[in-house]
């Protein structure tokens, strides 16, 4: 699952907030959708398009200007994090005296504050995940038990590449309507996205995440797997699992790697697919979608691919064979 699939999902499920050749209109609407900025043309005629999907307090945006542009700080102080995932072209990003080039193989992230700048080439087409500062700092506090700002390295490491699939899953959950009557599901999905970024991307709290070695690995794993099994239908966050087991996130991860050679998230994914396989083969009067949701799986495309890789058949074929 990559950025192009995510981009398609944003256009399909989102709202077109901007389609304009007017630089002033593009700057105004872009500032409202993302963060306050000034827009300067560096190439030919503007052909700006912006689609956006709201994911609780977060948002996923697809943005392209159709020409080379420069973005500089506006008058207001930005209070958010912007994770840029280029689909095509390049974006030279500056933040707090640092500089990085965003490309289809290299994402970049900037934090709060007016010290930022973007120089986008004419081919630049990107996805931007907006995360509120309060949400990021709250999750970081839960992970490290300390408070304060979180400063990420500008260039995003490959270890957080799975965020595209998580964001797409959150969009699918929003579009399905399932979260309307169960808002905690979307909230938990937001937490998982932020956690994955904090745990995978080097930042000012990374050293603190190394702490926590106060229980045996086997006991941690038993407690965590029991808890996850009991809450399989929910979009669990690592913080919730670690908190329920009374250990730090880092301790839990190390225990799983040492005892099972996997991570809590990978174990949970495999367990959900196994339960879905059992339900689909039991003759239950449910659709594939209903079974997936009952097992805490909200990204159906990813579910189908993982199911077939593990069992050699698609979920729908397995269901049909047992009816």
Q: What is the CATH number of the domain that holds 110?
A: 2.60.120.10
Share of the chain above pLDDT 90, in %: 63
Q: What is the model's pLDDT at position 94?
A: 96
Q: Which residues in the chain come in under a pLDDT of 50?
A: 1, 212-215
> Helix or strand or coil: residue 72?
strand
Q: What is the model's pLDDT at position 72?
A: 96
Measured at the CA of 162, the angle between CA 137 and CA 227, to 5 degrees, comes to 70
* Domain-embedded: residue 33: yes
* Domain-embedded: residue 284: yes
Distance CA(19)–CA(312), nearest Å, equals 44
Model pLDDT for residues 169-195, shown as the tens digit of each residue: 889 888 888 777 777 888 888 998 999
Write down which residue in 93, 119, 134 finishes a domain. 134
Q: What is the model's pLDDT at position 180?
A: 77
* Domain-embedded: residue 89: yes
Q: What is the model's pLDDT at position 181?
A: 75
Helices (H), the chain: 3-13, 23-33, 133-144, 163-176, 183-200, 217-230, 238-245, 249-260, 264-280, 288-294, 300-311, 315-321
Distance CA(244)–CA(50), nearest Å, equals 41
- pTM value? 0.73
Model pLDDT for residues 135-168, shown as the tens digit of each residue: 999 999 988 888 889 999 999 987 666 788 889 8
**DSSP class per residue in 99-118:** EEEEBTTB-EEE-SSS-EEE
Distance CA(221)–CA(264), nearest Å, equals 9
Q: Which domain holds residue 315?
A: 269-321
- Asked if 106 contacts 54 with a C-beta cutoff of 8 angstroms, the reply is no
Write down which residue in 83, 108, 134 finishes a domain. 134
Q: What is the model's pLDDT at position 216?
A: 67
Question: Number of folded domains in the chain?
Answer: 2
Share of the chain above pLDDT 70, in %: 97
* Domain-embedded: residue 304: yes
* Residue 158: other Cβ atoms inside 10 A: 10
């Amino acid at each position: 699952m990559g950025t192009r699939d995510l981009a398609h999902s944003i256009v399909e499920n989102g709202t077109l907030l901007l389609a304009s050749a007017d630089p002033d209109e593009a700057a105004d609407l872009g500032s409202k959708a993302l963060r306050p900025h000034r827009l300067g043309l560096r190439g030919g005629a503007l052909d700006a398009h912006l689609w956006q999907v709201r994911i609780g307090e977060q948002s996923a945006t697809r943005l392209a200007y159709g020409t080379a542009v420069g973005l500089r700080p506006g008058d207001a102080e930005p209070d958010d994090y912007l994770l840029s995932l280029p689909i095509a072209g390049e974006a030279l990003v500056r933040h707090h005296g640092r500089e990085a080039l965003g490309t289809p193989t290299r994402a970049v992230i900037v934090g709060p504050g007016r010290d930022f700048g973007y120089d986008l080439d004419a081919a630049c087409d990107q996805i931007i995940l907006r995360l509120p500062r309060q949400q990021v700092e709250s999750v970081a506090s839960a992970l490290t038990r300390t408070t304060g700002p979180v400063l990420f390295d500008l260039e995003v490491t490959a270890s957080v590449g799975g965020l595209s699939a998580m964001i797409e899953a959150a969009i699918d959950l929003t579009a399905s309507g399932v979260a309307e009557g169960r808002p905690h599901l979307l909230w938990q999905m937001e937490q998982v996205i932020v956690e994955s970024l904090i745990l995978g991307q080097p930042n000012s709290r990374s050293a603190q995440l190394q702490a926590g070695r106060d229980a045996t690995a086997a006991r941690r794993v038993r407690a965590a797997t029991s808890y996850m099994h009991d809450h399989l239908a929910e979009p669990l966050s690592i913080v919730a699992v670690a908190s329920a087991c009374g250990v730090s996130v880092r301790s839990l991860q190390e225990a799983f790697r040492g005892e099972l050679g996997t991570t809590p998230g990978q174990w949970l994914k495999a367990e959900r697919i196994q339960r879905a396989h059992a339900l689909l083969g039991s003759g239950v009067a449910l659709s594939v979608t209903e079974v997936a949701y009952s097992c805490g799986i909200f990204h159906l495309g990813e579910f189908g691919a993982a199911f077939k890789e593990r069992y050699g058949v698609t979920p729908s074929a397995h269901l049909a064979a047992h009816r």
